[in-house]
Structure 1
Amino acid sequence: MRLWIGLCLPQLPLEVFSPHWSADAGSVVLEQERVLAASPAARAAGVQIGMRRGGVLMLEPDARLHERDPAREAEALNAVALALLQYTPLVTLAEEATLLMDIGASLRLFGGIRRLCSRVRANLRALGFTGHLSCAPTARGAWLLARRRAGRALKMASLVRRLDRLPASTPPPARPFAGWFEGIGCFTLGDMRRLPRPGLQRRCGRPLLDLLDAAYGALPELFEWIEPPETFHARLELFDRIEHADALLTGAHRLVLQLTGWLCARQLAVERITLNLAHERGRVARAPTPIEIALAEPTWRDEHLVRLLKERLAKTVLDAPVIGLGLQALQLQAMAPPSESLFPEPGGTEEDRNRVFELLVARLGADNVLQAAPQADYRPELANAWVPVQQKIRASARAAQMPPDVQSLPRPVWLLAKPIALLMRDHRPFYGSPLKMASNPERIEAGWWSESQTRDYFIAEGQDHALYWVYRERIVGSGEDAEPRWFLHGLFG
């Protein structure tokens, strides 16, 4: 089924170019010295759309005046389009700040039209915009419904009924002839369709007829789809100087949503991102503060990235106020296909576990969340190293194993970081109580290339029946009468 979403952003200039826009501030957006938009406080003071700058200052002397910036407006619209690429690769930019999305192939993936529209609205709010959303079987039909806030029409019959009720001035090609349509009693698109086509074409031109035919499904529609850039680097200029890092999360979320759309469009997953905090420029210029997030597993989901950024920002202390944000995707790889296993893994999937590790790293620091890295060494204290959980361990290191005869020997659950020298009482090692040897000795002799070690390991039992891993150090080159030294190296569970 072919279905389109039309997303109209009528208040785009207000929200992008009015940094201090709020209900209790008299803010006005000007275009060519005339009012384009006004905040509620300004309208309450008598400011009206189309009023000149002098009239605004007469009614509201303290009003904040902002000039509309078409370049930044286009940049913001492109940011919204980039974020929406996570739902479909078929997104196009239409007239009058409207985006069109072909979501027919995405309905099942996102749980139906209602849930998909709800997600689009939520993303739009997170990006800092408001808009009017519509659905229709044709792209031009969705555009017309969005411009007039006429709701959704999922079937062609309901679309025809909704379109017929729209004002005749809704299509842009019809607006120059609004007076003529009103004079002949043509007030709706339904009235316009009943007019003789040859006369309507001579009077208003072919573009109007083509738009109507496309909206009503009588003419095929062709569009140029938005192409995501080859690399991702998004910026956001903040409305004020931010002095606390946790207040940057909203802006970071906006950038992450754009990253999510870019990753889905490119079929990529990200392994490492950097959020750059831009500080003052000029004489007191400072280099940006980077916040790097390394992921245990590649991802393209915004929820997980935002959660990690929230943890890192909560721990960050700013050395200087922040005036802008920048987000870069530094390490990428192809998006992994979905799991083909029939039954889910008990206790969650590997991806779920990796997300827990990433959250712990963001909260506790990389040096406090470690993983085991096996080493090909007979000496117990060197047979394993602890490295950050995000560090990639080579496959050869993971496969490092001792010979089968060594693997079958018992090893304690708890190996002490440093062996403890034991006292000797009655020629027996003592640790809380005299220790009795409960196994045959296991000799470990290694390290001749650096620091040679020769030890005889035993499993020892105390009077409380606790088991210990102890060794007797053999001193090479000493006389036969030299007293051996005993050490505690591990404890069995």
Structure 2
Amino acid sequence: MRLWIGIHLPRLPLEVFCPRWSDDRCTVVLEQERVVAMSTLAEQAGVEACMRRGGALMLAPQAQFQQRALQLEADAQHAVAMALLQFTPQLAQAEEATLLLDVGASLRLFGGVRALCRQVAASMEALGFTAVLSCAATARGAWLLARSNAGRALTMEALARRMDRLPSSLLPPARPYLSWLEGIGCLTLGEMRRLPRPGLQRRCGRALLDMLDDAYGERAEMHQWLAAPASFRAKLELFDRVENAEALLFGARRLLQQLTGWLSAHQFAVERIRLLLEHERGKVAGPPTVIDIVLAEPVWRDEHLVRLLKERLAKQVLDAPVIGLCLEAPQVQPMAPPSDSLFPEPGGSKEDWQRLLEVLTARLGPENVLQAAPRADYRPEQANAWVSVQEKIRPSDARAQLPPDMPSLPRPAWLLAKPIPLLMRDHRPFYGSPLKIMSTGERIEAGWWSTMQTRDYFMAEGEDFAHYWLYRERTGHEGEQSARWYLHGLFG
């Protein structure tokens, strides 16, 4: 099934200066001293399109006037296109601030056309742009429905009926001939199609007929798909100086949407992201504040990244106001395929556990969320170290603790940080009650390169039936009767 989604950005000239989440400003965009776009407050004050600057200033003296910037509009449209690559790799930029998405192969993945449209609308909401969505069986038909806010037409028959009622002025090649078309009573696309084709071509040119054929599916359409760049780096200029780090989350979400689209286009997953908070420029310019987030498991969706950035920004203290954001993805890898296991792991998947650790790291700091790192040492207190969960532990380090041919010996679940010296009563170690030795001895001799230690370890049982891990020192100069006993661990 071939299906296209058309996305028209009707307020793009305005929202490159005043995004939707800050539409409480009275802003007017001018082109050649005439109004081309205005914010809600300016519209409520009576400002209209094509009004001259003087008239708009008289109606809204508090308004901020901006000159239309075509380059900024092109950059904003490209940012939107980058974010929408997460839904399909076949995306084309069309005329008059409109994007066309070939989503026929994506419907099953996203749960149908309605669910897909909701996700596209949510993405546009996160980007801060006003969008008009449409669905049609042809790309030009989706363009026409989006330009006229005419909804969805999923079959060719429904699309033809709906387009027949659209005004002729929607087609760009027909606009120079609107007065002639109105003079002969041709006001809609349906009436235009019923005109003799040879005469219409001689009068208006071949481009008008080609666009009609494209819209009604009578001609094969050719598109130039948007290609994602080889590396990712996205910038966002803020519309005011921001002194609270938490207020930067809106702009960061906008950049993360673009990152998600770029990752999907390349089938990548990101392992580390870097957010640069840019401060004042010029003579008082300072280096940007860098926020690095290292992920334990690569991800390609933005929900988890938003949570991590929210935690980091909540702790960030700004040395100077922020005027711009820049997001980079310096470390990526190919996207891993989904798990093919029949039954899910109890208690959540491995990815859910890693995401929990990443959220805790962002909230508490990497120095406060630790993991065990085995060491190649026979001494129990040296056989393990606690390092940050962001550090990678090599599998060879875990296997180097004991020789492969050494039998598995009991180890306590709780190893004391410092061994406790024990009293001797009736020639038996005493800890709350006399301890009874329950196992043969295990001799550990190690540390000749630093501090030599020679110990005999035993499992002991108290009168409360609790099990303890004891060792007896062997100095080589004293008899066994005078050797000291120590408590080193507790069994569960």
Range into which the TM-score falls when normalised by the shorter chain: over 0.9
Q: String of CA shifts for 1:205-233, please: whole Å, max 9, x gaps.
A: 00000000011001001111000001001
Contact in 2 for aligned 1:17/1:68 (Cα 8 Å)? no
Specify whether residues 297 and 22 from structure 1 end up closer, same or farther in structure 2 by C-alpha distance, changes over 3 A only: closer
Amino acid at match of 1:487: Y
Contact in 2 for aligned 1:21/1:39 (Cα 8 Å)? no
Amino acid at match of 2:450: S
CA distance, structure 2, for counterparts of residue 152 and residue 387 of structure 1: 55
* Structure 1 residues 110-129: aligned runs within 5 Å: 110-129=110-129
Contact in 1 for aligned 2:21/2:128 (Cα 8 Å)? no
TM-score scaled by length of structure 1: 0.96
Alpha-carbon deviation of 1:161? 0.3
Task: Indicate the residue corresponding to 1:385 in structure 2.
Answer: 385
Amino acid at match of 1:207: A
Task: Indicate the residue corresponding to 1:281 in structure 2.
Answer: 281
**2:490 paired with 1:484:** no
Alpha-carbon deviation of 1:110? 0.3
Task: Indicate the residue corresponding to 1:210 in structure 2.
Answer: 210
Alpha-carbon deviation of 1:448? 1.7
Alpha-carbon deviation of 1:304? 1.1
Alpha-carbon deviation of 1:264? 0.4
Task: Indicate the residue corresponding to 1:75 in structure 2.
Answer: 75
Task: Indicate the residue corresponding to 2:165 in structure 1.
Answer: 165
Task: Indicate the residue corresponding to 2:94 in structure 1.
Answer: 94
Task: Indicate the residue corresponding to 2:302 in structure 1.
Answer: 302
Contact in 1 for aligned 2:442/2:458 (Cα 8 Å)? yes
Q: String of CA shifts for 1:365-384, please: whole Å, max 9, x gaps.
A: 22222222222221111222
Q: String of CA shifts for 1:119-178, please: whole Å, max 9, x gaps.
A: 000000100001111111110010011100111000000000011010011100001111
Amino acid at match of 1:390: Q
Task: Indicate the residue corresponding to 2:60 in structure 1.
Answer: 60
**2:235 paired with 1:235:** yes
Alpha-carbon deviation of 1:56? 2.3
Contact in 2 for aligned 1:17/1:69 (Cα 8 Å)? no
Identity %: 69
Alpha-carbon deviation of 1:411? 0.8
SS for the counterpart of 2:105 is helix
Specify whether residues 41 and 194 from structure 1 end up closer, same or farther in structure 2 by C-alpha distance, changes over 3 A only: same
CA distance, structure 2, for counterparts of residue 438 and residue 23 of structure 1: 76
Amino acid at match of 1:232: F
Alpha-carbon deviation of 1:425? 4.3
Alpha-carbon deviation of 1:479? 4.2
Segment of structure 1 superposing worse, 18-27 or 375-384: 18-27
SS for the counterpart of 2:457 is strand
Alpha-carbon deviation of 1:407? 4.0
CA distance, structure 2, for counterparts of residue 358 and residue 82 of structure 1: 26
Segment of structure 1 superposing worse, 351-360 or 423-432: 423-432
Q: String of CA shifts for 1:191-216, please: whole Å, max 9, x gaps.
A: 00000000000110000000000110
Task: Indicate the residue corresponding to 1:336 in structure 2.
Answer: 336
Task: Indicate the residue corresponding to 1:397 in structure 2.
Answer: 397
Alpha-carbon deviation of 1:50? 1.6
Alpha-carbon deviation of 1:426? 4.8
Contact in 2 for aligned 1:18/1:66 (Cα 8 Å)? no
| Count of residue correspondences | 492
CA distance, structure 2, for counterparts of residue 129 and residue 19 of structure 1: 7
Alpha-carbon deviation of 1:457? 0.9
Alpha-carbon deviation of 1:343? 2.2
SS for the counterpart of 1:457 is strand
Amino acid at match of 1:485: R
CA distance, structure 1, for counterparts of residue 334 and residue 292 of structure 2: 21
Segment of structure 1 superposing worse, 64-73 or 105-114: 64-73
Alpha-carbon deviation of 1:485? 2.1
Segment of structure 1 superposing worse, 38-47 or 21-30: 21-30
Q: String of CA shifts for 1:92-132, please: whole Å, max 9, x gaps.
A: 10000000000000000000000000000000010000111
Task: Indicate the residue corresponding to 1:17 in structure 2.
Answer: 17
Segment of structure 1 superposing worse, 453-462 or 48-57: 48-57
Task: Indicate the residue corresponding to 2:441 in structure 1.
Answer: 441
Contact in 1 for aligned 2:273/2:292 (Cα 8 Å)? yes
Contact in 2 for aligned 1:379/1:444 (Cα 8 Å)? yes
SS for the counterpart of 2:377 is coil
SS for the counterpart of 2:88 is coil
Task: Indicate the residue corresponding to 1:4 in structure 2.
Answer: 4
Contact in 1 for aligned 2:279/2:323 (Cα 8 Å)? yes
CA distance, structure 2, for counterparts of residue 55 and residue 268 of structure 1: 52
**2:468 paired with 1:468:** yes
Contact in 2 for aligned 1:20/1:239 (Cα 8 Å)? no
Alpha-carbon deviation of 1:276? 1.0
Alpha-carbon deviation of 1:484? 1.8
SS for the counterpart of 1:355 is helix
Contact in 1 for aligned 2:19/2:128 (Cα 8 Å)? no
Alpha-carbon deviation of 1:410? 1.2
CA distance, structure 2, for counterparts of residue 156 and residue 379 of structure 1: 77
Task: Indicate the residue corresponding to 1:364 in structure 2.
Answer: 364
- 5+ long unaligned stretches in structure 1: none
Contact in 1 for aligned 2:311/2:362 (Cα 8 Å)? yes
SS for the counterpart of 1:101 is strand
Amino acid at match of 1:492: F
